[in-house]
Amino acid sequence: MAEAKKCVPCESMDKSALLDDDQIEEKLETLTLWKLSYGDKLCRKFTAKNFQSALDAINDVGAIAEREGHHPDLHLTSYRDVEIVIYTHSLKGLTENDFSLASMIDEEVKVMYSPKWLKSNPDAQKTQKET
């Protein structure tokens, strides 16, 4: 497991911090639960077992975001479908911070997934919450 890096303050970044397409593709290979969506944004979607499990996951992501000072867009729809969207808002693109945050989320947030969803997404097993 790679050591997670700490996010650096976004206000100290300029456009030179944006990653190019090759860098993005290389970093994305290590984040199997994440996809590139909405242009240059990291996106992870999952279906939780129930509403409370979805809220717990969102709150856990929020705690990491507050600690790191780097905040994703969080969406909860259909009472248990969660979407996490990460990019550096101030630069409107992807930086090292975004991949660091995604890695922290994967390492620290454990989710009680819908059994049906988990069966069709076996890579998520490593982030399954123990019951």
At residue 14, the pLDDT reads 67
Query: Over the stretch 79-118, which tens digit does the pLDDT of each residue have?
Result: 999 999 999 988 989 999 999 999 999 999 999 999 999 9
CATH 3.40.50.11720 fits 31-127, yes or no: no
Task: Tell whether the model's pLDDT for residue 61 goes beyond 60.
Answer: yes
Question: Per-domain residue ranges for the chain?
Answer: 31-127
List CB contacts of 66: < 8 A, sequence separation 6 or more.
Answer: none
Cα separation of the two ends of the chain: 23
- Phi and psi at 44, nearest 5°, equal -130, 130
Burial of 37 (0-12, 13-18, 19+ CB in 10 A): middle
pTM of the model: 0.89
Query: Over the stretch 3-60, which tens digit does the pLDDT of each residue have?
Result: 556 655 555 666 878 999 999 999 999 999 999 998 899 999 999 999 999 999 999 9
At residue 2, the pLDDT reads 47
At residue 13, the pLDDT reads 64
d(CA 46, CA 68) in angstroms, rounded, equals: 23
Task: Tell whether the model's pLDDT for residue 130 goes beyond 60.
Answer: yes
